[in-house]
A and B are shown apart, each in its own frame.
Chain A
Amino acid sequence: MAASTTNGFRVIGTRPIRHDGVDKVTGRAKYGADYAFPGMLHGKVLRSPHPHANIKSIKVDKALALPGVKAIVTSADLPQMPDKMEAAGEQAINLNHLSANILARGKALYDGHAIAAVAATSPHIADEALRLIEVEYEPLPPVMTVEDALKPGAPILLPSLRNKEEGPDKETNVAAHLQFKRGDVAEGFKQADYVIEREFKTAMVHQGYIEPHNAIGIYNADGHATIYCSTQGSFVVRALSAAVLGLSEGKIKVVPAEIGGGFGGKTTVYLEPLSVLLSQKTGHPVKMTMTRAEVLRATGPTSGSTIRCKMGATRDGKIVAAQCWLAYEAGGFPGSPVGAGAMTILAPYNIPNILVDAYDVVVNRPKTAAYRAPGASNAAMASETVLDEIAEKCGLDPLDIRILNGSHDGTPQTVGPPFKRIGFIETLEAIKNGEHYKSKLTGANRGRGVASGFWFNVGLQSSATVNIHTDGTVSVVIGSVDIGGTRAAQAMIAAEVLGVDINDVRPTIADTDSIGHTDVTGGSRTCFATGWAVYEAAQDCIRQLKERAAKLWEKKPEEVVFQNGVFSPTQANGVKPMSLKEMAPRLARTGGPIVGRATVNARGVGPAFATVCVDVEVDPDTGKTQILRATIAQDVGKAIHPSYVEGQMQGGMAQGIGWALNEEYFYDDRGILRNTGLLDYRMPTCLDLPALETLIVEVPTPGHPLGVRGVGEVSIVPPPAAVANAIYHAVGVRMTELPMSPPRLLKAILKKRAAGETQAAAAD
């Protein structure tokens, strides 16, 4: 690939084989559950069978007496944390809530809430020990929905929870109320010719990573601990585990294993502190892995929600006002992504008058965790289907109404400051001019829908080192885990800067002792921020290499230029230019090894936009929807490795379609989760999706050396609304509840049919 260049790049924009590919396809790659250590014990967690209960007592004597059981811990073994927001690593978090989620403190707040943990010589003995732990519960009425939680007199989950509005004396299930306002919505709606208002409900859904959570904790007698685990952020695991255990961060080393999917769900801790605590108690390494049922009952999910969205537009399609009300299920502890929902719901459009109210509500469901553009898919389901109705009223093409109102540089964001250069309009135009949208869709019960989405993306801190080896090969060391082609992309950036072949670069993901602080892989930040650090670290190598060349040639460093992979003096006078490969063996003689270093606290992040077009066919007799064709256009800034960028676009779209059609947490009337396996928690299989088509749009992020924009998340935002709009255009019903599963859709179709028959009868 040495000779090919795209847009002035030699490596960036090409599609080399990923460096971790062979390990992953041959099964050699080590995931969290693949590690084992001498003398290792196995840990298991006892979980609450009640969604809401006071824990009166926990008796462990019988379990401890079982041969092979080495230790049992409960929340009494964890330090009591102050019940307030505190810094833990780079984030502010209520450590009391975090600790009480890891092991319930006095109260079980959801079906599956961890009560106690056992370490034993085999996983079977640990399982048996769980049966022997005697817990006395006082069951309390469960609160399963935001509506129930908001009712006056609703059972209270957290007696200490307060919010500013209701005051310091009022017990509540509302953890926070946020409001965003611009202009005057009442005045705005007066200018509108059409006003559409709808209420939406979206189900709680899980990230659905294939690899369950895992951790091995090894506590040493000298007070240091090591954690092996699959995570999106080794430094987050270190900070949160240290905080929960009352250790200083420096006492813990986290070794990140390969990760079998995360999608946001592996940015917090569940088993990690427990494995260290059990190791501390027993003196042995302790391995813990979750079952699928544990993953679904007690980790992840993202919020179900109730959203009201009212939008007004003039006859010619100009949106003049929008008002939204969002209430998200936080789970048993505060912290739903409702704030992000509120800030994304109207972000794609330039609307002069807006009012958005957002409520974070605790319910007896698992504490929610980040999930790919957290909170934005729910929100877009509401705003993007209401906008489709408005387009229909105005007689406008759904893409045209978006182009007419779409945000561009200078449009104020929901939070206030204007957007810089963004590529939203470009994604709309890419779909509009694409073969899919131009193609004719024919056949009964078929329809096409479009929808758009926005996600902020973040920058944050990353570190990188680049080592030049004596044979001219290069190693790149980063602290971001490989979650979708990270190694390949980072190696490509180094290869590009250093003028070497991609196969001469070896990327490595280091543990927390071996690389500078690197924030979590989240917010689509890795290629943007870690990529920036790698770029700067490689540039640091170039600076140092110029000094060495200058030394060899008895010139000043500024008299050496580096171009097309070759170092040469500004004035040639007989000196032979050298590549990095030729310089490398000479490093020992010119001052020793070269290590390039860089750290960034990346600013100027570029927000992401995407537009999706979906064709569906609905079986009107069963309510089942088939996805016939789906295309996404996404502004990616600059695609480093286009295959992995496309993979992110397709992956988000696949998850969004799952969310649209069948995925949902199903609790029975006692508050017990019924679908604790992947048979009844229905993610799409490869037979449920067509080949997902991608249109890469490149509007470079200003300020970033390569123009990179985060690509990981926004692709999940438009699909639910796009599918809903397609269903409407197929069978004429507006769906306002996710998932649009066959029973729900059939009910809507039959209701419409019955209404039609009543009308026809009335007409006779």
Chain B
Amino acid sequence: MHAITYETPKSLDEAVKLLAAHGEKARPLSGGTDLLIQLRAGTRRPDFVVDIKRIPELTRISFSLQHGLRLGAAVPCIEIHENGDMRKYYPGLTEAAHLIGSLQIQSRASVGGNLCNGSPAADTTPALIALGAQARVVGPKGERMVPVEGFCLAPGRTVLQPGELLVEFQIPAPERHCADAYLRFIPRNEMDIAVVGVGAALTLDMSDDRVVEARIGLGAVGPTPIFAAEASKSLIGKTLDAAAIDNAARLAIAASSPIDDMRGTAEYRRHVVGVLTRRVLAKAAERARQSDQR
């Protein structure tokens, strides 16, 4: 019988030591909504499971308009949704976190776990990419910052080296007339996994309704979540009219590289990238224009 040692470090130091000592044989446990399934299915067979939910840095949300957001990697999604600052300043990331599974799942699942699982279909990752989030990683050799769009390498694989732990996300404070949004397509209305996910963050110059800053993240349409750089860049300095949006949608489709699988064909996914990009830009713009009221 395969036995697993369960560790519950109380500090970052302790956690990193444990992870470094056991290398590939250890796997961090946040909410467990991916890991437990992988253990049962036998697709991962770690000897050590390191529960990181008792480490203070990983389980807190801190926000200020001066310093922006620090979101602990193991904060359960439900706490994000229940946090007034999150809802107000990062509605796109909040709605992405609130789309994952049921309330029960959201009470366990975390944004950090969502990213570290390395699935291209993770709902919160395109939203993080749109916000320009940086991942703070701590390991035996010190710490480093990784932009979220560079975090995943392949399905199930990330930049994390043995012994390294994702601690938190750092996201700049939102400017005036800046807002984000996230939309995903699923065949059902809930309890499903993204066939396509698109996150967008826009900053507008309200004097002439031009785009000052734009970032678009794509999910489930490539081996990793994608930052649609060309599509994002194409919007900057433009008025957000139908032509600009269509052009960005076209460039987002070009940035995607989906495959055929049971959740949808590549052809279908490309089409839906265009549809959702148009819809999510409209939604983010709407929010940005109304951001004075927040």
Inter-subunit contact A687/B275 (CB<8 Å): no
> B residues within 8 A CB of A282?
none
User: Looking at chain B, what size class is its interface with the partner chain?
Assistant: 20 to 34
A313 on interface, CB distance cutoff 8 Å? no
**Chain B 270-288 interface 0/1 with A at a Cβ cutoff of 8 Å (1 = within):** 0110010000000000000
Decide yes or no: A680 and B263 within 8 Å by CB, A122-B1, A622-B275 being known contacts.
yes
Inter-subunit contact A688/B188 (CB<8 Å): yes
Inter-subunit contact B262/A687 (CB<8 Å): no
Inter-subunit contact A687/B190 (CB<8 Å): yes
| A112 CB to nearest chain B CB (Å) | 14
> A residues within 8 A CB of B191?
679, 685, 687
- The residues in A between 615 and 671 inclusive whose CB is less than 8 angstroms from any CB of B are 621-624, 626, 661-662, 666
Inter-subunit contact B1/A125 (CB<8 Å): yes
Inter-subunit contact B268/A679 (CB<8 Å): no
Inter-subunit contact B187/A746 (CB<8 Å): no
Q: 6 smallest A-B Cβ distances: which pairs?
A: A666-B262, A743-B268, A687-B189, A621-B275, A687-B190, A124-B1
| A89 CB to nearest chain B CB (Å) | 37
B185 on interface, CB distance cutoff 8 Å? yes
How many Å lie between the Cα of A680 and that of B187 in the bound state? 10
> B residues within 8 A CB of A680?
193, 262-263
- The residues in A between 118 and 146 inclusive whose CB is less than 8 angstroms from any CB of B are 122, 124-125, 128
A470 on interface, CB distance cutoff 8 Å? no
Residue of B nearest to A121 (CB): B1
Inter-subunit contact A685/B189 (CB<8 Å): yes
Inter-subunit contact B261/A662 (CB<8 Å): no
Partner of B268, one of A68, A684, A742: A742
- The residues in A between 321 and 348 inclusive whose CB is less than 8 angstroms from any CB of B are none
A675 on interface, CB distance cutoff 8 Å? yes
**Chain B 180-224 interface 0/1 with A at a Cβ cutoff of 8 Å (1 = within):** 000001011111110100000000000000000000000000000
Decide yes or no: A128 and B188 within 8 Å by CB, A622-B275, A746-B271, A747-B268 being known contacts.
no
B161 on interface, CB distance cutoff 8 Å? no
How many Å lie between the Cα of A622 and that of B194 in the bound state? 13
> A residues within 8 A CB of B192?
679, 682
**Chain A 734-751 interface 0/1 with B at a Cβ cutoff of 8 Å (1 = within):** 000000011100110010
Q: Which interface residue of B1, B190, B267, B275 has the most chain A CB atoms within 10 A?
A: B1
A674 on interface, CB distance cutoff 8 Å? yes
Inter-subunit contact A124/B188 (CB<8 Å): no
How many Å lie between the Cα of A122 and that of B3 in the bound state? 13
| B190 CB to nearest chain A CB (Å) | 5
How many Å lie between the Cα of A209 and that of B112 in the bound state? 34
> B residues within 8 A CB of A685?
188-191
Residue positions of A touching B, CB distance < 8 A: 68, 122, 124-125, 128, 293, 621-624, 626, 661-662, 666, 674-675, 679-680, 682, 684-685, 687-688, 741-743, 746-747, 750
Residue of A nearest to B191 (CB): A685
> B residues within 8 A CB of A626?
189
Beyond the given pairs A122-B1, A682-B188, 20 more chain A to chain B contacts, judged by CB atoms under 8 angstroms and listed by A's residue number, are A68-B1, A128-B1, A621-B275, A626-B189, A661-B187, A662-B187, A666-B262, A680-B263, A682-B192, A684-B188, A685-B188, A685-B191, A687-B189, A687-B190, A687-B191, A688-B190, A742-B185, A743-B264, A743-B265, A750-B271
| A664 CB to nearest chain B CB (Å) | 9
| A111 CB to nearest chain B CB (Å) | 14
Partner of B185, one of A622, A674, A684: A622
How many Å lie between the Cα of A128 and that of B191 in the bound state? 32
> A residues within 8 A CB of B189?
626, 685, 687-688
Partner of A682, one of B187, B267, B268, B272: B187
16 pairs, A vs B, C-beta closer than 8 Å: A122-B1, A124-B1, A124-B2, A125-B1, A293-B41, A621-B275, A626-B189, A662-B187, A679-B191, A680-B263, A682-B187, A682-B188, A687-B188, A687-B189, A746-B271, A750-B271
Inter-subunit contact A675/B187 (CB<8 Å): no
Inter-subunit contact A674/B264 (CB<8 Å): no
> B residues within 8 A CB of A750?
271
> B residues within 8 A CB of A741?
187
> B residues within 8 A CB of A682?
187-188, 192
| B252 CB to nearest chain A CB (Å) | 15
> B residues within 8 A CB of A124?
1-2
| A624 CB to nearest chain B CB (Å) | 7
Partner of B272, one of A622, A687, A747: A622
How many Å lie between the Cα of A630 and that of B191 in the bound state? 22
| B114 CB to nearest chain A CB (Å) | 15
How many Å lie between the Cα of A697 and that of B263 in the bound state? 40
Decide yes or no: A742 and B2 within 8 Å by CB, A679-B193, A682-B192, A747-B268 being known contacts.
no
> B residues within 8 A CB of A743?
264-265, 268
Inter-subunit contact B188/A662 (CB<8 Å): yes
> B residues within 8 A CB of A624?
185, 187
| A334 CB to nearest chain B CB (Å) | 28
How many Å lie between the Cα of A687 and that of B264 in the bound state? 21
| B266 CB to nearest chain A CB (Å) | 10
Q: Which interface residue of A622, A624, A661, A679 has the most chain B CB atoms within 10 A?
A: A622
| B241 CB to nearest chain A CB (Å) | 19
How many Å lie between the Cα of A404 and that of B294 in the bound state? 62
How many Å lie between the Cα of A239 and that of B250 in the bound state? 63
| A397 CB to nearest chain B CB (Å) | 32
Residue of A nearest to B269 (CB): A743
Residue of B nearest to A67 (CB): B1
How many Å lie between the Cα of A125 and that of B267 in the bound state? 45
> A residues within 8 A CB of B187?
624, 661-662, 682, 741-742
How many Å lie between the Cα of A301 and that of B106 in the bound state? 32
| B184 CB to nearest chain A CB (Å) | 11
| B49 CB to nearest chain A CB (Å) | 15
How many Å lie between the Cα of A651 and that of B237 in the bound state? 55
How many Å lie between the Cα of A688 and that of B188 in the bound state? 6
| A746 CB to nearest chain B CB (Å) | 6
Q: Which interface residue of B185, B262, B264, B275 has the most chain A CB atoms within 10 A?
A: B262
Inter-subunit contact A675/B262 (CB<8 Å): yes
Q: Which interface residue of A674, A687, A743 has the most chain B CB atoms within 10 A?
A: A743
How many Å lie between the Cα of A52 and that of B191 in the bound state? 34
> A residues within 8 A CB of B272?
622
| B55 CB to nearest chain A CB (Å) | 29
> A residues within 8 A CB of B1?
68, 122, 124-125, 128
| B36 CB to nearest chain A CB (Å) | 13
How many Å lie between the Cα of A666 and that of B190 in the bound state? 21
How many Å lie between the Cα of A549 and that of B263 in the bound state? 70
> A residues within 8 A CB of B265?
743
> B residues within 8 A CB of A621?
275
Q: Which interface residue of A124, A674, A679, A747 has the most chain B CB atoms within 10 A?
A: A679
Residue of B nearest to A677 (CB): B37
**Chain B 235-275 interface 0/1 with A at a Cβ cutoff of 8 Å (1 = within):** 00000000000000000000000000111110110011001
How many Å lie between the Cα of A675 and that of B272 in the bound state? 22
How many Å lie between the Cα of A494 and that of B141 in the bound state? 78
| A226 CB to nearest chain B CB (Å) | 29
> A residues within 8 A CB of B188?
662, 682, 684-685, 687-688
How many Å lie between the Cα of A125 and that of B275 in the bound state? 50
Residue of A nearest to B261 (CB): A674
| A332 CB to nearest chain B CB (Å) | 21
How many Å lie between the Cα of A622 and that of B264 in the bound state? 11
| B46 CB to nearest chain A CB (Å) | 15
Residue of B nearest to A128 (CB): B1
Residue of B nearest to A658 (CB): B188
> B residues within 8 A CB of A747?
267-268
How many Å lie between the Cα of A662 and that of B187 in the bound state? 7
How many Å lie between the Cα of A685 and that of B265 in the bound state? 23
> A residues within 8 A CB of B275?
621-622
How many Å lie between the Cα of A684 and that of B186 in the bound state? 12
How many Å lie between the Cα of A277 and that of B261 in the bound state? 40
How many Å lie between the Cα of A622 and that of B185 in the bound state? 8
Q: Which interface residue of B188, B189, B267, B275 has the most chain A CB atoms within 10 A?
A: B188
